[in-house]
Structure 1
Amino acid sequence: MMLARTMMRRVAAACKKGVRNGTPSTTRTINTQMDDSYPILISPSLVSLDLPDIWPTNSSPNEFRSTCRCSNEQTAAIIDGKSIAGEIMSRIACEVWRMKESIGRVPGLAVIMVGQRRDSQTYVRNKIKACEETGIKSSMTELHGNCKEDEVVNVLSRFNADPSIHGILLQLPLPQHLDEEKILDVMSLEKDVDGFHPLNIGNLAMRGRQPLFIPCTPKGCIELLMRSGVEIMGKKAVVIGRSNIVGLPTSLLLQRHHATVSIVHAFTKNPEQITCEADIVVTAAGVPNLVRGNWLKPGAVVIDVGTNPIEDPSCEFGYRLTGDVCYEEAVRVASAVTPVPGGVGPMTIAMLLSNTLDSAKRAYDFT
């Protein structure tokens, strides 16, 4: 022990001498002398670098000059997510019926909603309706927007322990006063049908690994591309937005499908120019009409995940949904585009039910 301490003191003294005196060198170096009170590494933690993505106000479509030009007529094929999702849900309903006939059990999905965000209410309402249509048992718990963390955790824990529940959906985002990461950590990995558990995301990121569940919206985007005959391998893809819910897992999933992926976010310089080089554009920024026609490469395929509520008293619930893409311009440039609503939204629900069915099959060892 004494010998080790002596060696450590000698090494420290030598290092200090080297810093103070310097050494002859033919290369140009940057001298960053620090006293002993500094930590070994001065790089900040990754979490401390996390800044909110606040997108700038939409610029005029004429401010960005590019080779992208809009024609006067619609050229894009419309990717009908509602129709494709309907086909998938019909097959899910058949499997649920087969499970019920064979073993007398059906998949169970629990939904937890905190607060009263309009878009979340729309999603949850559609998900509960889809469960009814496919024969999946659903259980709904609503909590006030100002509820405490322990209340959410207690509901989650109760569903974790319920063997009749095979999937738990915690509708995100949560109110800001709640620790989303801490709450998600409580969720059972085997019931994380939204695919947001760190182990599921980690396995999604690593080649050779398979997550138990792929996040529903990214999974739905890929399904839309494949069913529309869009080649992904080797193509340039741009994902606009980097949320844990959509942007991040979508970029990881596209990489697993061998696309060359760029991520555009609120701090990206010249996002229009980067996006205009993409063969595939997936946008999930949450900014109405952010992506204009001159952001797009002629012939690009556009998947619009944006579902932004816009006040409209003439609509049933007092608002309508619009996407991140200026649809009227995109259809004159792209080769294919998803509408909002009726594009990605129904696919997200179909993937949620598919994940829930898979979870129930795993729990009951049903094939």
Structure 2
Amino acid sequence: MPAIIIDGNKIAEKLQLKILKKINQRKKDGKKIPGLAMILVGNHIPSQIYVNKKRIACKNVGFFSECWHFPDYVNEIEILNLINQLNNDKNIDGILVQLPLPKHINHLKILSNITPDKDVDGFHPYNTGSLCQRTPKLRACTPKGIITMLKYNNIKTHGLHAVMVGASNIVGRPMSLELLLAGCTTTVTHRFTRNLKNHVKSADLLIVAVGKAHFLKGKWIKNGSIVIDVGINRLHNGEIVGDVDFKNAYLRASYITPVPGGVGPITVATLLQNTLEACENHHDII
């Protein structure tokens, strides 16, 4: 039986509507409106598209947002100086640095200089480390969003064997911790993993984030598994596809996310959630 397609756009719309209601109430109560600062470096077209989507999302829910766009030859010090300024700006509740950065810029140094309680992407070492103790100030957007997707579809994760294909700092590693905290028995695969096919075949819940079009074959997937495709890749003909062979995986999975329209919209909505949470923590808690 074909899989149920998890519509990320619909879930994101519901999340944004909840945020909009909270913002309208904040306005009535005379409370501060969340402010998001975005830093973009260079002319990487996908990054420009992502930042624009985030700006539109902020506008739709009534947030204040501002973007600083640097040329790709910018000095690292200039970015660090801006981050220091934004860390101390009471109008700004969240700071986002759009990745990837040019090779001459140390992205770990940049991300580590964002104060953890304004790190709305959840990439600061404090937040990634604190996730192990269930105490991050803010959680990474994509992993947090995926857990939200599962909850919205009433998918019970306790006891599932979850396989995370990909071990990046942005998705794979924080996602593996989220899965552990969600009660899964978790396997993480990476470029040195042997017999990937066998790991995939054993997965009740499969999350794929490797950045390679149709990398994971649909025939590898166990019947009835839940498939979350984080990848987004553009083919030569312009078509946007994920890391999973959707056509064949769709026939075997019980639930599956499409690309586009799956994880992407949820990630943006989760960024808004994190920014609102940061604002509440900065201004509402006495």
Same fold (TM over 0.5): yes
The answer to whether the 8 Å contact 1:119/1:309 transfers is: no
Aligned to 2:129: 202
Q: What CA distance in whole angstroms lies between the structure 2 residues aligned with 1:78 and 1:99? A: 35
Aligned twin of 2:172: 247
Q: Give the whole-Å Cα distance in 2 for the aligned partners of 1:100 and 1:76.
A: 42
Select the residue among 20, 36, 42 that pairs with 1:93: 20
Query: Which digits, 9 at most, give the CA deviation of each residue in 1:92-131, with x for residues without a partner?
Result: 0111111122125200001111122232222211111100
Q: Displaced runs of 4+ in structure 1, greater than 3 A?
A: none
Counterpart mapping for 1:163-312 below 5 A: 163-206=90-133, 209-312=134-237
SS in 2 for 1:113: strand
Q: Are the counterparts in 2 of residues 119 and 307 from structure 1 also a CA contact under 8 Å?
A: no
Matches within 5 A, 1:84-163: 84-163=11-90
For residues 45 and 200 of structure 2, what CA distance do their matches in structure 1 show?
Answer: 30
C-alpha distance 205-366 of structure 1, shift in aligned 2 (>3 A): closer
The amino acid of 1:327's aligned partner reads: F
Q: Contact 1:118/1:309 (CA < 8 Å) preserved in 2?
A: no
Instruction: Note the C-alpha offset of 1:366.
Output: 6.0
User: Using the alignment, how far apart are the partners of 1:320 and 1:143 within structure 2?
Assistant: 29
Quote the offset at 1:320 in angstroms: 4.1
Paired amino acid for 1:330: A
Q: Counterpart of 1:362?
A: 281
The two structures, once aligned, show a CA RMSD in angstroms of 1.4
TM-score, scaled relative to structure 1: 0.76
- Partner of 1:103: helix, strand, or coil? coil
Judge conservation of contact 2:230–2:243 (CA < 8 Å) in 1.
yes
1:337 aligns with 2:264: no
In the alignment, the residues of structure 2 paired with residue 150 and residue 194 of structure 1 have an alpha-carbon distance, to the nearest angstrom, of 21
Q: CA deviation at 1:173?
A: 2.1
Q: Distance in 2 between matches of 1:327 and 1:345?
A: 16
Residues of 2 paired with 1:277 and 1:238: CA distance? 8
Distance of aligned partners of 1:310 and 1:156 in 2 relative to their CA distance in 1, 3 Å threshold: farther
Give the distance between the partners of 2:226 and 2:183, measured in 1 at CA.
16
What is the aligned length? 286
Percent of paired sites with the same residue: 41
Choose 1 or 2 for highest CA Rg. Answer: 1
**Pair 113,197 (structure 1): closer, same or farther in 2 beyond 3 Å:** same
Tell me, yes or no, if the aligned pair for 2:161 and 2:186 is still in contact at 8 Å.
yes
TM-score (norm. length: structure 2): 0.96
Q: Any conservation in 2 of the 1:119–1:308 contact (CA below 8 Å)?
A: no
